[in-house]
Amino acid sequence: MPPTFTHSQPGTLTVGVRTGGAAAISPAELLTALRSCAVLRESVLKRPDEHELVDRAHRRPQFAEDLVREAAATVAARLSADTAVFAVASLAESIHPHHAVASLHALAGDLQSKSP
């Protein structure tokens, strides 16, 4: 039986890294990491792909706090320990009159040591 669909929380997820100089991660690798832990909107989808995207989002709901933790940890796993990682999520509630906002700033090594 499919999960009970309640409401959606579309929003904005911003993830970045700071290094002492050289690029720490390519944009393509960053996007791949984020696609593995968050449901990202797509510009053009065929009907079956639309269904799959909505189904995936509802089967794996995430609070803003969960989203920033998982996004930061997923990106940190691809970085050197001394690279700074930040993630900010602002999710628009569809049935409540507020946004849910969470942020995380940490060194990749600290996030890597907390990963299972």
Question: Between β-strands 11-18 and 84-92, what pairing exists: parallel, antiparallel or unpaired?
Answer: antiparallel
d(CA 87, CA 105): 7
6 found inside a domain:
no
Q: Identify the pLDDT of residue 19.
A: 80
52 found inside a domain:
yes
Residues (pLDDT < 50) of the chain are none
> Could you tell me the CATH number of the domain that includes residue 99?
3.10.270.10
pTM: 0.77
49 found inside a domain:
yes
100 found inside a domain:
yes
What total of structural domains would you count in the chain? 1
Q: Identify the pLDDT of residue 43.
A: 64
Q: Please give the radius of gyration of the chain, using alpha carbons only, rounded to the nearest integer.
A: 15
3 found inside a domain:
no
Q: Identify the pLDDT of residue 47.
A: 74
45 found inside a domain:
yes
Q: Identify the pLDDT of residue 105.
A: 96
Q: Identify the pLDDT of residue 79.
A: 92
Range of 101's domain? 11-114
Q: Identify the pLDDT of residue 76.
A: 94
